[in-house]
Amino acid sequence: MLSYITLYAIPVPSNAEIYVKQFRSLIDFDILKPDNFLPLINKDWSQEYFISIGKTTALSGLQSSGIQSGNIVLNLSTYIFIGLFFVFVLLLMSSLLIVRKFHDKVKAKLIDILNKTFWNNSIRSLNITYLKTALAFVVSYKIDQDMVSVMVLSVLGVIPLYFILVLIYFNAKLDTPEMKKRIERMYQDIHLGRNYLTKFYYPIFLIRRFIFVIIPVLVPFYPIIQLLALIFLNLIFLAMYVYVRPHIE
């Protein structure tokens, strides 16, 4: 969350902002941005070539948080590119099924990939992309007040609650190999026997991220309230972490 602290109306020293920007480039996978690959195909190609940037509103106040416009596709272009590349690889591997020589090996590999994707790798991907996705739709809502952003943000807000319900429902089976193979990413490296609440660490972690993004929307013109709310949010999370001690030591 520190990488997006400039989202708040709080002055950040310029030297600190340099380090924050470099750290954010790592967690945002800037090295995999489409703009790094499209010119290799055609020197005139870029994200702007395919996306109508001119119809979006530039957000000078959010540019330091890595948000260059109100275009959702542009702001999430790296994640979309990675997703499309993954689908392309699956289709390419599927096409090899018609070749008898590779059929059995490719089929076994595809089954293994799909088993890992649903659901452990999907949960991991959600944990990685959750904050940036929520931020992109918050920005879109602030600009256009559109219902699509409200619906997506509502879904993002419900997802951690759904995770909690899943963990409660499968509580007695979480330590079994079958459950670990399917949803271990919800409680990986968590000490299940220490406290009943330990298993809820990752869902609460997502809720914290969601609230972090929502605070500047609820009080956009009151930096002091933003700062106090952020401090209060982190104090609650820290107190919970110290009391529950969720991770395996």
pLDDT one-digit tens code per residue, 36-50: 777 777 777 776 656
Q: Is the pLDDT of residue 68 over 70?
A: no
Name the token pair of 201: 């660490």
pLDDT digits (tens, 9 = 90+) for 79-113: 988 999 999 999 999 999 998 888 999 999 999 99
Asked whether residue 121 is assigned to any structural domain, the reply reads: yes
Q: Is the pLDDT of residue 58 over 50?
A: no
Q: Which one, of 195, 185, 235, 178, lies nearest residue 211 by Cα? A: 235
Other beta carbons less than 10 A from residue 93's beta carbon: 15
Asked whether residue 249 is assigned to any structural domain, the reply reads: no
Residue by residue, DSSP assigns 194-232 as T-TTGGGHHHHHHHHHHHHHHHHHHSTT-HHHHHHHHHH
What is d(CA 146, CA 150) in angstroms, rounded to the nearest whole number? 7
Q: Which domain holds residue 147?
A: 2-244
Q: Is the pLDDT of residue 115 over 70?
A: yes
What is d(CA 44, CA 238) in angstroms, rounded to the nearest whole number? 49
What is d(CA 58, CA 63) in angstroms, rounded to the nearest whole number? 8
Number of domains observed in the structure of the chain? 1
More confident residue, 189 or 140: 189
